[in-house]
Structure 1
Amino acid sequence: MILAEVSLLTNDVLKLANFYKTILNTTSDGDDEIHQEILIEGAALTIYNDGTKKNNNNQNICIAFTVENVDEEYERLKTLGAKIIEPPTTRPWGARNMHFCDPDGNHVYFRSFPN
């Protein structure tokens, strides 16, 4: 089995999709206000407005991306104005993580695995 897609529901597809395209250094093939698909290695991240009002009180999910160098990404995200929750920290299991939130309050982690 392969995880093919993670979908984030939002009130503002354009704002959230642009945030993820910027932090992931990628583009999508459209700028639809209802649904956008952002292809990343191994899966798709979709941003979708299903027509219901969202409260953006997202406390039960986080999304993590493995990056080459989390410290460099931290510096880049600071310049983009990302809401940083925790700067890069080395975890007991060896991963180096940073934690931030997207514009809707979803928790996002960038991590790397130093040698």
Structure 2
Amino acid sequence: MKIGEVGLLTNDVPRLAAFYKQLLEIENDSNDETHQFIITEETTLTIYNDGTEKNNQNQNICLAFTVDDIEKEYEKVLAMGVKIIEGPTKRPWGAINMSFYDPDNNMIFFRSFPKNS
């Protein structure tokens, strides 16, 4: 079994979708106000407004992305003006992680696994 889709429910699909398109450097050619596919390969990431009001206090979910160059990605999210939770930090198991919030306060982790020298 594989996870088929991760969906982010939001009150503002265009705003949140624009954030993820910029963050992930993806263009989906959609400005739909109700539903947008952001990633369509492997596990799908969708942004969706189901018509109910959201409180944007998402304390039980996070998204984690593996990146090649964590410093480059850190500079990109700083330039986007996002709220940083923790800058790039090496973990005891060798990964380098950073965390920040998207515009709806979903927690996002970027992680890299540096190759051993």
* TM superposition score normalised by structure 1: 0.95
Q: Does 1:47 align with 2:36?
A: no
Q: What's 1:73 paired with?
A: 73
The alignment covers a number of residue pairs equal to: 115
Q: For residue 29 of structure 1, report the CA deviation from its aligned partner.
A: 3.4
The DSSP-based 3-state class of the residue aligned with 2:78 is helix
**Structure 2 letter corresponding to 1:95:** A
The DSSP-based 3-state class of the residue aligned with 1:105 is coil
The whole-number CA distance in structure 1 between the counterparts of 2:4 and 2:28 is 16
The DSSP-based 3-state class of the residue aligned with 1:55 is coil
Q: For residue 93 of structure 1, report the CA deviation from its aligned partner.
A: 1.6
Give structure 2 stretches of 5+ with no counterpart.
none
Q: What's 1:99 paired with?
A: 99
The whole-number CA distance in structure 2 between the counterparts of 1:70 and 1:44 is 23
Q: For residue 112 of structure 1, report the CA deviation from its aligned partner.
A: 0.4
Deviations 1:24-78 (A, max 9, x none): 0001131100000012542211000000000001101100000111111001111
Q: Does 1:27 align with 2:10?
A: no
Q: What's 1:108 paired with?
A: 108
| Distance change >3 Å, CA 40–CA 100, structure 1 → 2 | farther
The DSSP-based 3-state class of the residue aligned with 1:14 is helix
The whole-number CA distance in structure 1 between the counterparts of 2:40 and 2:92 is 28
Across the aligned residues of Structure 1 and Structure 2, the Cα RMSD in angstroms comes to 1.0
